[in-house]
Amino acid sequence: MFYLGWIFLWLVTGERIKGFNISGCSTKKYLWTYSAKSEEEFVLFCDLSDPQISYSHHRNPLSSSQALTSLPCSGNKDLSDVQWYLQPQNGDTLRKITKNYSHIIMDNITLHFLTNDVNNAGSYVCRPKIRSLQDEACCIKMVLEVKPKTNISCVNSVPHKRYLLLGSTDSIYCPSLGCQSDTHSPEVTWYQNGRLLSDKRSNPMLLDEIYDYHQGIYACDYTQSDNASSWIVRAVVQVKTIVKDTTLKPDILEPVKDTLEVELGKPLTLYCTARFGFENGFKPVIRWYSKDSDQQLEISTEGRSVKTTFKDKILECVVRLKEVTQSDFHKTFICFAQNSIGNTTQSIRLRKKKKVIFLYILLGTIMTLVGVLMAGVLLFMYWIELVLLCRTYQDKDETVGDKKEFDAFVSYAKCCSFESEATSSVSEENLALNLFPEVLENKYGYTLCLAERDVTPGGVYAEDIVSVIRKSRRGIFILSPNYVNGPSVFELQAAVNLALDDQTLKLILIKFSSFQEPESLPHFVRKALRVLPTVTWRGLKSVPLNSRFWTQMLYLMPVKKLTWNHLRISQKFFHWKDSVKQKPLRRASSLRHGDMDPETPPSLSWQVKTLVARTHNVDQADLKWTVCCQP
């Protein structure tokens, strides 16, 4: 379908060209006189915007066919995109000018002729590519006649290439008027890159001050008539704006170093890059030489222009070696650059690269970095375990000589612990009176201070608590809503006050459950809750000895020299822990006469009796008064 569309378009276009009537086009006649020895160019402009103004001064009353009328192009919006057609001088049919013409270049409204030949003669027609049916007559027909110059003495009088120095004052001469005197010089119309210069009518065209925008292709037209007809004689001048010639030698940009490490047997490319200042009429020289002993030879190279500006030009010369041989290490490669001022050289020698396996070095570096990173992560994750491991092999005991009786004082909510018995298999009281003694005392050899066990009844409660805290190295506080809102928070306040004066007393907070700080809590206690080390209790997950809870507790406890008896794991403790998960405690009636549960470790008999008594309705009120409200 795509090819059918192209065929249809080609047929329609061919019909339109075949039916294109050029008799209605505005007609101009141009004469191109050239010299066979000169390399001059010629251009035609398709000026559809306002042709009557552009060519009104060329009218000749002797030739009625040359009179121009206004073209019907006023309604066409885009007059810069045009199509060119050629009708050869031999009368062949009109055909499009495409890119297949090697001697003609189309550049929008400009048609460039690269060669001067009489075969370029013919009729050239241009019209807009996009047009309406009413604009069929919107076209210009240019009849071109090409003739060689007959006056040999005036062939090279005016060049077709003109160099203008930036910032100076200069003139541009029309080459076709080089043999005529100023008195007989006709009126000239000048164009720059297809644009009419309406204020320039004389030859030469004077430029007050040269700028870079003066560069381009200039065309000069004047009318030449005889008895039969008149022609527009056109000549083209290529103008280039330049700066003053340089006074410096070339500057070699590459190579920079005088040695280059290469591998034997590998291909090699050497670049010689140099900057040349502007010089009018001098061609820069850049090449490579190889010097071996006393012999210097030029190397076959590839050259190209890298960058060109008004002031300078950067050229590059490349030499390619298929493989580096042993003899290349004894040669000196010389980059050579020369202009009219002088020459500059830069030498470079090849040096054999050491056989270092870069990939292994890279992999080793990456592996080292990964190892350091992993070691840092492991150290961060298991820092506590590493500290405990070091303590095991260190002969250190910080409790020696401190004159303290207890390793840790344990504080918990004593009044309301029975409320949590129904909802949790391990309560605050169970943790403080059963688990802590069994693990910290029986397994690891720490001495705990429990108010129910180690404080003698009958004394002043506040003074007794302050006294046992003074005798302790650590303070363990089991925090919960019942604790921070109950009377037991007094023990935390007293411990914070004592820790400010006693540097050996350190406090450990256990977050048993979430709570909100009451407004009545002193400011220094609130601050202590934010800065003191806190261990989170996670229910049954924290009961096993290998849990994170016990690891953190051991890390915060005092450093002691443990014995092998303290390192043994009590099988009875684990059996009792499983029984707590599977079945409830027996009623107090079975233990009231001092009988001990065979599943409970002997060291926990008093605590378990108290716990069971709390769960019994008869003794509940009496026990609460005994624990919480004694004077």
Lookup: tokens for 210 = 């040269």
414-430 pLDDT per residue, tens: 755 444 444 446 888 89
The answer to whether 158 and 183 are in contact (CB under 8 A) is: no
Give 29-74 as a 3 state SS string.
EEEEEECCCCCCCEEEECCCCCHHHHHHHHCCCCCHHHCCCCCCCC
- The answer to whether the CB of 155 falls within 8 A of the CB of 35 is yes
* Residue that wins the pLDDT comparison between 605 and 193: 193
* CB-based contacts of 322, cutoff 8 Å, min separation 6: 267
Question: pLDDT tens for residues 95-124?
Answer: 888 877 777 888 878 888 888 778 888 889
**Which is more confidently placed, 63 or 133?**
133
Least confident of 103-112, 146-155, 204-213, 594-603: 594-603
To which H or E segment does residue 198 belong? Answer: none
| pLDDT tens-digit series, residues 33-86 | 877 666 678 898 887 775 443 333 333 433 333 434 444 576 566 677 888 888
- H/E stretch holding 328 reads none
Which pLDDT score is estimated for 627? Answer: 31
Show the tokens assigned to 584.
């409830």
Which position has the higher pLDDT, 48 or 501? Answer: 501
Residue 525: Cβ within 10 Å count: 16
At 511 the pLDDT is: 93
Question: Which helix (H) or strand (E) segment is 508 a member of?
Answer: strand 506-511
> What is the β-pairing status of strands 230-242 and 251-254?
unpaired
The predicted model gives 483-505 an average pLDDT of 90
Residues 124 and 85: beta-carbon distance below 8 Å:
yes
Report helix, strand or coil for 257: coil
Would you say 17 and 129 are in contact if contact means Cβ atoms under 8 Å apart? no
CA–CA separation, 48 and 74 (whole Å): 9
Range picked from 129-143, 209-223, 357-371 for highest mean pLDDT: 209-223
List the one residue out of 266, 270, 255, 258 whose CA is nearest residue 325: 266
Higher pLDDT, 564 or 133: 133
Residue 7: what pLDDT?
52
Contact 347, 332 (CB under 8 A): yes
DSSP secondary-structure letter at 4?
H
Task: Judge whether 22 and 139 are in contact, CB under 8 Å.
Answer: yes
Q: Tell me the sheet residues that pair with 291.
A: 296, 332
Q: Please give the single-letter amino acid code of residue 607.
A: Q
Are 26 and 73 in contact, with CB atoms under 8 Å apart? no
- pLDDT tens-digit series, residues 239-298: 988 899 899 999 999 999 999 989 888 999 999 999 999 988 888 999 999 998 878 888
Q: What token pair was written down for 497?
A: 């006050």
On the question of pLDDT at 616 being above 70, the answer is no
- Residues acting as catalytic residues: 491
d(CA 144, CA 340): 43
What is the per-residue pLDDT across 172-227, written as a single tens digit (0 to 9) for each?
988 877 666 555 678 888 999 888 888 888 888 898 899 988 999 999 988 888 77
Is the predicted pLDDT of residue 348 greater than 60, yes or no?
yes
Distance (Å, whole) CA 70 – CA 50: 8
**Which pLDDT score is estimated for 319?**
93
Q: Is 182 in a helix, a strand, or coil?
A: helix
* Sign for the pseudo-dihedral over CA of 550, 554, 560, 561: positive
Contact 409, 472 (CB under 8 A): yes
**What pLDDT, on the 0 to 100 scale, is given for residue 574?**
39
Residue 244: DSSP 8-state: P
Residue 529 pLDDT exceeds 70: yes
* Residues in contact with 342: Cβ distance below 8 Å, sequence separation at least 6, in sequence order: 249
Q: Which residue has the higher pLDDT, 607 or 335?
A: 335
Burial 499-515 (b: 16+ CB within 10 A, else e): beeeeebbbbbbbbbee
Q: Indicate if the pLDDT at residue 624 is higher than 60.
A: no
**pLDDT band per the 50, 70, 90 thresholds, residue 388:** low
Written as six digits, the tokens of 306 are 């890298």
pLDDT tens digits, residue range 578-587?
Answer: 443 333 333 2
Concatenated DSSP letters of 346-405: EEEEEEEPP---HHHHHHHHHHHHHHHHHHHHHHHHTHHHHHHHHHHHS---TTTTS--S
- Of 130-144, 227-241, 372-386, 563-577, the poorest mean pLDDT is in 563-577
Tell whether the model's pLDDT for residue 601 goes beyond 50.
Answer: no
pLDDT average, residue stretch 536-551: 90
Do 264 and 352 touch, CB atoms closer than 8 A?
Answer: yes
Tokens representing 206 are 């004077």
Given its phi and psi angles, is residue 80 left (phi above 0), alpha (psi -120 to 50 degrees) or beta?
Answer: alpha
Q: Is 118 within 8 Å of 146 (Cβ atoms)?
A: yes
Residue 52 CA to residue 358 CA, distance in Å, equals 76
| pLDDT of 347 higher than 80 | yes
Higher confidence at residue 522 or residue 360? 522
Question: Phi and psi dihedrals of 162, rounded to 5?
Answer: -130, 130
Digit-coded pLDDT (tens) for 322-338 = 999 999 999 999 999 99
Work out the average pLDDT over 588-597: 34
Name the more confident of 305 and 415. Answer: 305
- DSSP strand pairing (268-277 vs 251-254): antiparallel
Averaged pLDDT for residues 517-525:
86
- The answer, yes or no, to whether residue 613 has pLDDT greater than 80, is no
pLDDT at 184: 66
